[in-house]
Chain A
Amino acid sequence: MKFKKSLTLLLSGALIAGVLAGCSSKSSDSSDGDSGGSGGKVIKIATQSPLSGGSAILGEALKLGAQLKLEEESKKFEKLGYKLQLEPYDDQGDPKKGVSNANVIGADKEIYGIIGHLNSGVTIPSSEVYEKYHVAMVSPAATAVEVTERGLKTVNRIVARDDFQGPAGAEYAVKELGAKTAFIIQDKTAYGQGLADEFKKAIESQGAKVVGYEGITVGEKDFNGVINKAKSQNPDVIYFGGLYAEGGLIIKQAREKGIDVPIMGGDGLDSSGLVDIAGDKVANTYITSVAGDSTKTESGKKFVEDYKAKFNKKAESYSVYGYDSMGVLLKGIEDAIKANGDKLPSKEKVAEAVRAVKDYKGALTEVSFDDKGDNTKAKVFLYKFDKASYPPALQGEVSQ
């Protein structure tokens, strides 16, 4: 017995020593990486997006978009004497996984930039790590206000912020739909209430009257109480801040009660699930979304064709954002290399150069970063459901 016990102790001691040794060697590596500037001719770009789990389709689309751009640009970099390499990471849509990947990425001295993430919730904690290692990040899809509001030097995004969707919806409601009164429903979550509050502020400043502002509980299925209230107020438009599961039911139950005014919402409603739930009652519903339609521009169309030819998959709405994010990032790296006399710049210089990108024209988006890393040229797109089919029809776009 005694022998067994001491053997266990010895073995576990050895294991711990091994783990500790592994850690220490890694951390010394990364401190080298920080000061690094000369040496290796390989430039690695990491992508971080969910490649497994519920939003794997979108995460994969981001990655493939980024990959396409990287391969297109690799010739140009070879002329400069550098070899581009893509390192895909799977963040599983999970903040914990994102952060642990971020630590691995930060420790790799050849990784000069990150395309990611899909979710704001993962972007926020992971970007704290990137900031520590001074690695530039360009997010194709994170829309939460907080992502750039923390003043991190390495964090950039090419999509519009959440707090722009509400005003864009309000402007459309007043100018195009001629709404004079609005009834607002929100789902009491940070996303839904934030969206609804922004809409309320904006539509009041446009001169329309808010005749009701009510909340619902996520997960319930009966919203008739709130809808009765809305019906008695007879508004010109109903705005819903929340996700499609509740949104679809509200649309359905409102239409069943004979409310036929336009119903509006944010990108939380941008899902084929909305159509499944509301069925043909979805007609006359408007949504704002930060994702545009890639087939609307010439370069966008070319992207969709190239994407199809290369991967034999249909481009998702966010594919082109992965592509353009990679474009912006590589532009920044290229600028930094040139500014450094064709020598490999430090990671800080790359981050500065990415932030300094102005008037970059991608396949669908135009990008100019402001001092927070928000894209001043980001647009919000307005879609309308006419019948029970997804995707809805593009109605217009609003720029900041």
Chain B
Amino acid sequence: MLHEMIQSLPQVLIDGLTLGTVYAVVALGYTMVYGILQLINFAHGEIFMSGAFIGTAILIAFSSMGLLHSIPSILVVIIMLVVAAVLTGFLGMGIERVAYRPLRNAPRLIPLITAIGISFVLQDVVRFIAELAKGNYIITGPSLFTKQIHIPTSSISSVFHDSSFKTSFLLVLIIAIILMIALDFFVNKTKYGTAMRAVSLDRDTAALMSINVNKIISVTFFVGSALGGATGVLFAVQYGTIDPYIGFILGLKAFTAAVLGGIGNIRGAMLGGIILGILEMFAAANLSLLTGGVLGAEYKDVFAFAILILVLIFKPEGLLGKPVAEKV
């Protein structure tokens, strides 16, 4: 049993890392907004989904103009990423302006409800547009980076099987890591980042120090949503097929990842996402081995979330959260 599990381990790690980096970058959006407003922005999953659709729309437009072969794929992906990130960034800012800012002094539960409302609106608007344009809301874009790379992991040690991945895996991994490093730098080293941290620590005092709180909150929403939208593009490149409802489950899991890492803590969100992705993939591949066939892969989420509960029982502030957390 152990032998079989170890055999498939390299492949499980690769697939888990792909999913985990997606969770991690989406989790960043949740954690940043929570850090600054103590608001759980449930519309973030739908912003991620909108990014995926914007990216795929650009991709389909390029391929229908026949540009896909003349421009290098990497350039296409960069254009998709930038356009989707900017558009979803403004979308996030708009949502904050319309649905959250008027309610900033209302009880905590109220903006939570508007967030859920916004996510329904986004789902159905995207579905409507997709159906209008393509006649079907499940959209499949042309595939990029489909080359398979085999790693002879069996040559490292004979206990492993060979593993393989698509080149898009590398793309997702590298871009996600660049995004996370850039964000870390932005928050810790720039003037805006310092202002964001100040607002999250104490909004009133920050305002007294001549920080424009509304502007900083808008910037936070822009950055968080742009990250979500860019991840949507990465998701669309990796999996090819998207629908208006991908944001729901993925958003829920990314939120979980943010809590696992310690909500409000950026590095915690990254760690939480990657751990959740790997746990989930591990459970899907090995759960029936572990339980002797009683529980199948369909219980992978139960397994992953049981571990989450265990972690939170012993460390309620999350893996990297400190009792007095440094927020944002």
Cβ A225 vs Cβ B246 within 8 A? no
**B293-319 interface bits toward A, Cβ cutoff 8 Å, 1 = contact, 0 = none:** 000111111000000000000000000
Q: Which of B71-79, B94-102, B260-268, B280-288 contacts its partner? A: B280-288
Given contacts A213-B296, A216-B297, list 13 more A-B pairs with CB under 8 A. Answer: A214-B296, A215-B296, A215-B297, A215-B298, A222-B239, A224-B18, A225-B297, A226-B297, A229-B286, A249-B240, A257-B164, A277-B241, A279-B143
Contact A279-B243, Cβ < 8 Å, known A225-B15, A228-B15: no
Q: B301's closest neighbor in chain A, by CB?
A: A217
Determine if A188 and B285 form an interchain contact, defined as CB atoms under 8 angstroms apart: no
A288 to B136, CA, bound (A): 23
Question: Is A36's CB within 8 Å of the partner chain B?
Answer: no
Q: Give the residues in chain A near B208, CB-CB below 8 Å.
A: none
7 CB-based A-B contacts, threshold 8 Å: A215-B296, A222-B18, A225-B282, A226-B284, A226-B297, A256-B148, A256-B166
A208-253: which residues lie under 8 A (CB-CB) from chain B? 212-217, 219-222, 224-226, 228-229, 232, 245, 248-249, 252
Residues of chain B within 8 A (CB-CB) of A39 are: none
Judged by DSSP, the binding face of B is: helix
Inter-subunit contact A221/B241 (CB<8 Å): yes
Are the CB atoms of B284 and A229 closer together than 8 Å?
A: yes
Closest beta carbon of chain B to A112's beta carbon, Å: 38
Given contacts A214-B298, A222-B15, A225-B300, contact A249 B285 (CB under 8 A): no
Range of interface residues on B (Cβ < 8 Å): 35 or more
Leading 7 A-B pairs by shortest Cβ distance? A225-B284, A215-B298, A224-B15, A214-B297, A221-B239, A228-B285, A214-B296
Are the C-beta atoms of B285 and A219 separated by less than 8 Å?
Answer: no
| Distance from A333 Cβ to chain B, minimum over Cβ atoms (Å) | 39
How many A residues face the partner with a CB closer than 8 A? Answer: 28
* A274 CA / B191 CA spacing, docked (Å): 50
Distance in angstroms from B232 CB to nearest chain A CB is 12
In the docked arrangement, what's the CA distance between A338 and B300, Å? Answer: 63
Q: A222 and B19 in contact (CB under 8 A), knowing A212-B288, A232-B4, A232-B8? A: yes
CA distance A221 to B15 in the complex (A): 12
Could you say which residues of chain B place their CB within 8 Å of the CB of A249? Answer: 239-241
Residue A18, interface by CB 8 Å: no
**Residue-wise interface mask of A (63-79) relative to B, using a CB-CB cutoff of 8 A (1 in contact, 0 not):** 00000000000000000
Of chain B, the residue at the smallest CB distance from A228 is B285
Residue contact A229 to B140, C-beta cutoff 8 Å: no
A-chain residues with CB within 8 Å of residue B138 when the two chains form the complex: 245, 273, 276-277
Within the complex, which residue of A221, A224, A248 is in contact with B246, where a contact is CB–CB below 8 Å? Answer: A221
In the complex, which residue of chain A has the Cβ closest to the Cβ of B235? A221
Contact of A22 with B by CB under 8 A = no
Q: Does A341 contact B (CB under 8 A)?
A: no
Query: Which of B161, B241, B282, B296 contacts A232, CB < 8 Å?
Result: B161
On whether the beta carbons of A277 and B240 are closer than 8 Å, the reply is yes
B249 within 8 Å of A (CB atoms): yes
With a cutoff of 8 Å between Cβ atoms, the chain A residues found around residue B15 in the complex are 222, 224-225, 228
CB-based contact B249/A258 at 8 Å = no
Q: Are A225 and B7 in contact (CB under 8 A)?
A: no
Give the docked Cα–Cα distance between A215 and B161 (Å). 24
Contact with A along B189-218 (1 / 0, CB 8 A): 000000000000000000000000000000
- Residues of B close to A232: CB separation below 8 A: 4, 7-8, 161, 285
Q: A232-B7, A232-B8, A277-B138 are contacts. A248–B241 as well, Cβ < 8 Å? A: yes
Does any Cβ of A come within 8 Å of B274's Cβ?
A: no
